[in-house]
Amino acid sequence: MAAARYLSNHGRSTILLEARERIGGRIFTVRDSQLNMPVELGAEFIHGRPEETWKLLREANLSAFDLPFEQYRLSRGRLVHLGEENPEMEKVMAGLAQLGPKDMSFSDYLNTAAARKATPAARRFARDFVEGFDAADPDRISAKALAEEQEGLGDVEEETQFRLLDGYGALMKWMADSLDPRRAEICLNTVVSEICWRESSVEVIASAAGRNESFRGRCAIITLPIGILQLPPSARAAVRFSPDIPGFRTAAMQLAPGAVVKAVLRFRESFWEDPAVARAARAGNELRDAVFFYATGLPFPTWWTMRPLRVPILTAWAGGPSAHALSGLSQDELLAAAIETLHQLFKISPRKLRSLLEHFYTHEWINDPYARGAYSYVTVGGMSARVKLAKPIEGTLFFAGEAIDTTGQASTVAGALSSGRRAAEVVIRSLS
């Protein structure tokens, strides 16, 4: 969308092909009719103040609010405020900046002398953080890439996080509405199967409304998620390139699609704000201002409220190995897993929790046919992959997306927006 907007606003004719019946891709906002507010089943937060995102929000006149950072962790059967029992995760992560030239997995890093300066509890918390925040397998994710991420995103606990008042979907709608209709066309329900190309000529073959269609242009910007780009050409749902682009595919294999299962639960009341619930969870006298809850080893290890808004909604998040453990479950089974986790967190019976539940939303990004995963992460030895993927092929095939951002915002909405604009700028220069 960012690329199409830039191109059409600079006088270039553009066709945007979208496989889904909606725009946004891994931005997936639905409206809760009862509360008249957005429910984010995909991207949700703005990490810090990336100029690419905030510039668009100002232009669109959209509002965002900052999150408090009150955190609790389930420890020995009670909810512990992280200010009360600080796991000193920063001691674990600080050693990443001192890694030598050799890369290693985060799991291997946790066994180094630098990481062992922290307590076992801190190392366990750091591992959980990487699984949840990066949606990554600690046995695969690059420690050097994590060091770079820490520098690019800053200390997550220190840097302000924001949420859009009307959801990311409102930004997508504004971007679509701001396209120049004389030069830009959006084709929904259009599933691309093949990209035939030669220098300065592209033909895209797709299926739309049960029939094959062909789209032609001088070049193409490809924004497919890394999980789709990694599919072998013969695989179902793969996008074939003719001729193939083996060098690009090799670089793509050095990244990995993060695994995420996300659920949003709307209750009749914000039961966790009841002082009696806080006492039952052995969390003191109140959880009224709580934002994040962590539950290591339970089906959904991370939860958050909508604070500072006071609405009866909790979001459940499983990333990395925890998400794979939930993959393939039915909606009823996912709900049961969520209810069991809440039971362990708040000491409220599953029956009572179900009686309070009014609606359950969920999306499993691992098996989403047009994503095959959430946002990307770098695997061991893949530090140069994003730069390689960002290079055009013969001035004809250009690539963009969160996986291909090279500005330090990879894996975020800001990275996707930035990479789309960058690819469009390069296209315009190449056509001039």
Residue 38 shares a structural domain with residue 169:
yes
Residue 43 shares a structural domain with residue 176:
yes
Residue 250 shares a structural domain with residue 380:
yes
Residue 170 shares a structural domain with residue 220:
yes
1: pLDDT confidence band, cut at 50, 70 and 90? very high
Residue 110 shares a structural domain with residue 166:
no
Angstrom distance (rounded) from CA 87 to CA 377? 24
pLDDT reading at 19 higher than 90: yes
Which is more confident, 58 or 114? 58
| pLDDT score for 209 | 84
DSSP state letter for 379:
B
Residue 168 shares a structural domain with residue 153:
no
Mean pLDDT, rounded, of the chain: 93
Domain end point (choices 157, 183, 206): 157
What's the pLDDT tens digit per position in 333-387? 999 999 999 999 999 999 999 999 999 999 999 999 999 999 999 999 999 999 9
| pLDDT score for 72 | 94
Q: Is residue 79 part of a domain?
A: no
Q: Is residue 349 part of a domain?
A: no
Which region among 27-31, 218-222, 234-238, 399-403 has the lowest average model confidence (pLDDT)? 234-238
What's the pLDDT tens digit per position in 90-132? 888 888 988 888 899 999 999 999 898 888 888 998 999 999 9
**Distances in Å between the alpha carbon of 378 and those of 14, 120, 391?**
31, 25, 17
Domain end point (choices 104, 126, 157): 157
Q: Is it true that the peptide bond before 225 is cis, omega within 30 degrees of 0? A: no
Q: Is residue 182 part of a domain?
A: yes
Domain end point (choices 114, 135, 157): 157
pLDDT reading at 153 higher than 60: no
Q: Is residue 330 part of a domain?
A: no
**CATH code, domain carrying 197:** 3.50.50.60
Residue 110 shares a structural domain with residue 234:
no
Residue 110 shares a structural domain with residue 232:
no
**Distances in Å between the alpha carbon of 33 and those of 296, 333, 361?**
33, 25, 13
Residue 47 shares a structural domain with residue 100:
no
Q: Is residue 296 part of a domain?
A: no
What's the pLDDT tens digit per position in 253-310? 999 999 999 999 999 999 999 999 999 999 887 899 999 999 999 999 999 999 999 9
CB atoms within 10 A of CB 251: 22
| pLDDT score for 83 | 74
| pLDDT score for 98 | 85
| pLDDT score for 285 | 77
Q: Side-chain half-sphere of 402: how many Cα atoms within 13 Å?
A: 24
Paired tokens of 291: 């934002």
Angstrom distance (rounded) from CA 28 to CA 41? 5
Pick from 308, 258, 361: nearest CA to 28 = 361
Q: Is residue 73 part of a domain?
A: no
| pLDDT score for 87 | 59
250: pLDDT confidence band, cut at 50, 70 and 90? very high
Residue 132 shares a structural domain with residue 176:
no
**What integer is the mean pLDDT of 187-197?**
97
The domain tally of the chain equals 2
pLDDT cut 90: percent of the chain above it: 84
Residue 97 shares a structural domain with residue 245:
no
pLDDT reading at 156 higher than 90: no
84: pLDDT confidence band, cut at 50, 70 and 90? low
| pLDDT score for 149 | 79
| pLDDT score for 152 | 56
Residue 251 shares a structural domain with residue 135:
no
R_g over Cα of the chain:
22
Q: Is it true that the peptide bond before 243 is cis, omega within 30 degrees of 0? A: yes
Strand partners, 212: 207
Range of the domain at 237: 2-65+162-257+370-431
Q: Is residue 208 part of a domain?
A: yes
Residues 6+ apart with CB under 8 A from 118: 88, 89, 91, 92, 126
| pLDDT score for 86 | 59
| pLDDT score for 248 | 94
Paired tokens of 188: 């929904």
Angstrom distance (rounded) from CA 309 to CA 327? 31
2: pLDDT confidence band, cut at 50, 70 and 90? very high
| pLDDT score for 10 | 93
Q: Is residue 392 part of a domain?
A: yes
